[in-house]
């Protein structure tokens, strides 16, 4: 049984920031990450470019130098990995937390490898693990994916991309340029307004010139082995189809939060209850950091505006310990 002042669940940029802050303040800690360092960033598309500039992705005032003003996935992986290794952070990779229990003033954190004791836990697990499902017949077919990686895979294929956000627009454009026959299916009446400002004109122009087919105000009715059936403004359309990228967003692990005892201040949006000055939840000793604070509003918190959570959390824990 290992005992720490803080157990940090999640080894993404904000989890790493919390570890750095704990280390600077002389608090014992361990970061538990179920995958590789910055697992969620690792699972981003290979060609992904951030909306934020590199200085806004910096943590602990460690310079992030990138070739372009807005860095790419590979540069971010290198940046956060070097921070973790050069600072000798205590981070256990490929170790998944399975449960958290509280006895009096101490938590017992059980993983698939060890058991830990701590008076404080920080949940910085992000939101990239659980996709928002379409809930339609055929969604479980092998040709359907809720994650996009490399456009080369779809070259020469009839590809349906579902969604109007950055991820779906990036996928549609990249796959089109690698030779896929792309159909974009959008529930709303236009391409999302939050799409990166240098990308949105590109997708609109490709739609106008009919290089990419689009169905607005449309939803998927059914997916079969060789087709995709959609509800459109003009009735039901059945299209030949080889692959489907259902990039309809993701959500935090609310079940885990509930298991820990965290309540929600807004049940519809599943916004967790926490003190916005300390980031402590309704459960004493349980803190939230990063995008998980926004519940279903995953567009509210990013690295650039949640990196301050680390200082807020560690400052409060140190104050209570003294």
What is the per-residue pLDDT across 261-313, written as a single tens digit (0 to 9) for each? 999 987 788 999 999 999 999 999 999 999 999 988 877 888 888 999 999 99
- Whether 32 has a pLDDT exceeding 90, the answer reads yes
Give yes or no: residues 109 and 203 share one domain.
no
The pTM (predicted TM-score) of the whole model is 0.89
Give yes or no: residues 121 and 43 share one domain.
yes
Under the banding of pLDDT at 50, 70 and 90, the label for residue 120 is: very high
Identify the top-confidence range among 39-48, 190-199, 249-258, 275-284: 275-284
Considering the chain, what is the average pLDDT of its residues?
94
| Per-state percent for the chain, helix, strand, coil, to nearest 5 | 25, 30, 45
Tell me the two tokens of residue 316: 């409060």
Q: What is the dihedral of CA 8, 13, 14, 17, to 10 degrees?
A: 80
Mean pLDDT of 195-219: 95
Q: Among 166, 175, 246, which residue's Cα sits nearest to residue 213?
A: 175
- Whether 175 has a pLDDT exceeding 90, the answer reads yes
CATH of the domain at 126: 3.50.50.60
Give yes or no: residues 9 and 124 share one domain.
yes
Domain end point (choices 188, 222, 246):
246
pLDDT of residue 203: 97
Mean pLDDT of 169-181: 97
Q: Which residues pair with 243 in a beta bridge?
A: 159
Query: Cα–Cα distance between 56 and 215 in angstroms, integer?
Result: 36
pLDDT of residue 297: 86
Under the banding of pLDDT at 50, 70 and 90, the label for residue 91 is: very high
pLDDT of residue 285: 96
Indicate the helix (H) or strand (E) that contains 272: strand 271-272
Give yes or no: residues 19 and 125 share one domain.
yes
Tell me the two tokens of residue 251: 């959500």
Question: Of 90-94, 128-132, 224-228, where does mean pLDDT reach its minimum?
Answer: 128-132
- Whether 29 has a pLDDT exceeding 80, the answer reads yes
Structural domain including 144 reads 133-246
Q: Are strands 235-240 and 271-272 parallel, antiparallel or unpaired?
A: unpaired
pLDDT of residue 268: 84
Number of domains in the chain: 2
**36 in Cβ contact with 15 (< 8 Å):** no
Q: Express as a percent the part of the chain with pLDDT over 90.
A: 83
- Whether 322 has a pLDDT exceeding 80, the answer reads no
Give yes or no: residues 143 and 217 share one domain.
yes
Give yes or no: residues 155 and 216 share one domain.
yes
Under the banding of pLDDT at 50, 70 and 90, the label for residue 243 is: very high
């Amino acid at each position: 049984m290992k005992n720490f002042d803080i157990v940090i669940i999640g080894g993404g940029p904000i989890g790493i920031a919390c570890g750095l802050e704990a280390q600077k303040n002389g608090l014992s800690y361990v970061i538990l990450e179920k995958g590789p360092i910055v697992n969620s960033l690792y699972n981003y598309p290979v060609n992904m470019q951030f909306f934020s500039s590199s200085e806004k992705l910096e943590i602990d005032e460690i310079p992030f130098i990138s070739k372009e003003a807005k860095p790419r996935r590979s540069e971010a992986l290198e940046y956060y990995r070097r921070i973790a290794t050069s600072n000798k952070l205590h981070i256990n990779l490929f170790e998944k937390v399975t449960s958290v229990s509280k006895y009096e003033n101490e938590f017992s954190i059980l993983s698939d490898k060890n058991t830990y004791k701590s008076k404080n836990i920080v949940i910085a697990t992000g939101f990239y693990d659980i996709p928002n499902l379409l809930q339609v017949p055929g969604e479980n077919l092998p040709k359907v994916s809720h994650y996009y990686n490399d456009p080369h895979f779809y070259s020469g294929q009839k590809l349906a991309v579902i969604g109007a956000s950055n991820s779906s627009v990036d996928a549609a454009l990249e796959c089109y340029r690698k030779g896929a026959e792309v159909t974009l299916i959008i529930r709303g009446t236009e391409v999302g307004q939050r799409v990166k400002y240098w990308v949105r004109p590109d997708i609109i122009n490709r739609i106008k010139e009919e290089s990419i087919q689009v169905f607005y105000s449309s939803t998927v009715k059914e997916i079969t082995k060789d087709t995709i059936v959609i509800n459109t403004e003009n009735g039901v359309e059945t299209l030949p189809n080889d692959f489907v990228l259902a990039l309809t967003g993701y959500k935090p692990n609310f079940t885990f939060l509930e298991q820990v005892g965290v309540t929600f201040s807004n049940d519809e949006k599943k916004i967790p209850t926490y003190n916005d000055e300390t980031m402590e939840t309704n459960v004493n000793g349980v803190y939230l950091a990063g995008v998980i604070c926004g519940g279903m509003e995953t567009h509210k918190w990013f690295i650039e505006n949640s990196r301050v959570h680390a200082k807020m959390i560690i400052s409060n824990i140190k104050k209570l310990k003294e």
